[in-house]
Copies of this chain bind each other. A is one copy, B any other.
Amino acid sequence: MSGAKSVNQQRLWQRHADMAKLGGTPRGGVNRQALSPEDAAARNQLAGWARARGFSVFTDAIGNLFVRREGTDPAAPPVLSGSHMDSQPTGGRFDGMYGVLAAFEALEALEDAGIKTRRPVMAVAWTNEEGSRFQPGAMGSAVFAGTYRLDDMLAQKDWKGVVLKDALADTLKAAPAPMRDGPPGFSVDSYVEAHIEQGPRLENEGKTIGVVTAIQGSRRYIVTIEGEEAHAGTTPRAARKDAYAAATRLAAAMYEATTDEADTLRFTIGRVEVSPGSPNTVPGKVTFTIDMRHPRNEVLEAHEAKLRAIVAGKAAPCPAVIERVTNVAPTDFDPGVIGLVRDKARALGLSNMDMPSGAGHDAMHIAKLCPAGMIFVPCERGISHNEIENATPQDLAAGTQVLVEVLEALANR
Contact = CB atoms under 8 A, between A and B. Distances in A.
A139 to B, nearest CB: 19
A382 B200 contact: no
Nearest to A239: B200
Contacts of A204: 236, 238-239
Interface residues of A, number: 55
A69 B268 CA distance: 67
Given A234-B199, A235-B199, A382-B230, A274 B271 contact: yes
Contacts of A235: 199-200, 266, 358, 382
Interface string A365-388: 000000000000000001011000
Contact of A201 (B239, B244, B268, B279): B239
B232 A266 contact: yes
Interface stretch (A102-110, A143-151, A177-185, A248-256): A248-256
Contact of A382 (B218, B231, B268, B358): B231
Contacts of A220: 279-280
A253 to B, nearest CB: 9
A293 interface: yes
A268 B243 CA distance: 11
A197 interface: yes
13 contacts: A198-B231, A200-B230, A200-B239, A231-B385, A233-B266, A235-B266, A237-B266, A244-B251, A248-B255, A270-B274, A270-B277, A271-B274, A271-B278
A-B complex: 7 closest residue pairs judged by Cβ atoms: A199-B234, A234-B358, A233-B358, A232-B268, A279-B289, A272-B274, A248-B251
